[in-house]
Amino acid sequence: MTRTVYVNGEYLPETEATVSIFDRSFLMADGVYEVTSVLEGKLIDFDGHLARLERSLNELEMEKPEAFDDLLDIHRKLVELNGIDEGMIYLQVSRGSAGDRDFVFPDPEVVKPTLVLFTQSKPGLADNPVAKKGIKVISIEDIRWGRRDIKTVQLLYPSMGKMAAKKEGCDDAWLVEDGHVTEGTSNNAYIVKDGKIITRNLSSDILHGITRAAVLRFAREAQMEVEERPFTIAEAQDADEAFVTSASTFVMPVVEIDGAKVGAGEPGPVATRLREIYLDESIKSGI
Ligand code: PDD
């Protein structure tokens, strides 16, 4: 089936959807994005993703796309048109195309943002077999820019991190700055020690994960102790458990860090339980 995608007000077959070669996301990485998961045909944490999109746009002084208030309908229509039961919706807003290359932002009265959305069908996303065995990560230095709280499309370094992990037979990389883990290449990072969940505090050093917010809320509601502070790779290797969260992996156990087994080297009870709670609760509140 040809995927139907959305570009600037139109629903088109993916083969007919186009964006200008002068689009600033293409030339300058001048764009922001969101990834929202779909489970049982429903959008998960949609309001959180929309709120973060608005924040990213504000932080970059980028205009909201004209269709901003219709984004829920657009997401739902794409789910329906593409028959998505489990998967993701990718959304990108760029500062548009001024018809040439120029570092200076174009006049927002003249140049309108580009809005693109497409679906990714991922049957078996919730029941992902990888979650039953966990993933292996390596650590690399975090050399990204200083505004990681803005969800921009500057994803070259995260891609390089995933490639470095792949070359070492691992699944992902954790990024380390000043001796402390910031986050994963495309997820937030956690460890569990003596029943306590430890994850880096929010700041411009990390993306404020929508899944993170929900998982920490569920953890606190389940009377689990949470501490928000930076931790080192050595502390993580010595932890009882480790895991990551994101809209595409939910809660994913980490069983090895830089070749050292975490705990028993298999998914632990806290990560396993948080994954169950997150999936149950978010399917219930999906829209
Ligand atoms: N990535 N940190 C980074 C650097 C991320 O790219 C992501 C999400 C997260 C988790 O955020 P959330 O829980 O809101 O998905 C943390 C998405 C899934 C991606 O790039 O595909």
Per-domain residue ranges for the chain?
A: 4-121, 130-285
- The reply to whether ligand 1 has any atom less than 6 angstroms from the CB of 282 is no
**Predicted local confidence at residue 15, as pLDDT:** 97
pTM for this prediction: 0.97
Phi, psi angle pair for 192, to nearest 5°:
-130, 125
* Beta-carbon contacts of residue 86 (< 8 Å; ≥ 6 apart): 38, 39, 40, 121, 122, 123, 124, 125, 126
Instruction: Give me the sign of the Cα torsion angle 216, 149, 71, 127.
Output: negative
Nearest residue to 161 via CA among 191, 146, 182, 178: 182
Q: What pLDDT, on a 0 to 100 scale, did the predictor assign at position 1? A: 74
Mutate to test the pocket of ligand 1, among 154, 181, 243, 246 (most ligand atoms within 8 A of CB): 246
**Distance between Cα 172 and ligand 1 center (Å):** 13
Indicate the CATH number for domain 4-121: 3.30.470.10
CA distance 230 to 30: 29
Which member of 42, 122, 136, 151 is catalytic?
151
What does the pLDDT read at residue 129? 96
Nearest CA owner, ligand 1 atom 6:
186
Q: Which residues of the chain have pLDDT under 50?
A: none
Please give the Cα distance from 246 to 286 (Å, whole number): 16
The pLDDT value recorded for residue 37 is 98
**Residue 199 CB–ligand 1 contact under 6 Å:** no
Selecting from 3.90.1140.10, 3.20.10.10, 3.50.50.60, 3.30.1330.10, what CATH number does the domain 130-285 have?
3.20.10.10
**Do residues 117 and 79 lie in contact, with contact meaning Cβ atoms separated by under 8 Å?**
no
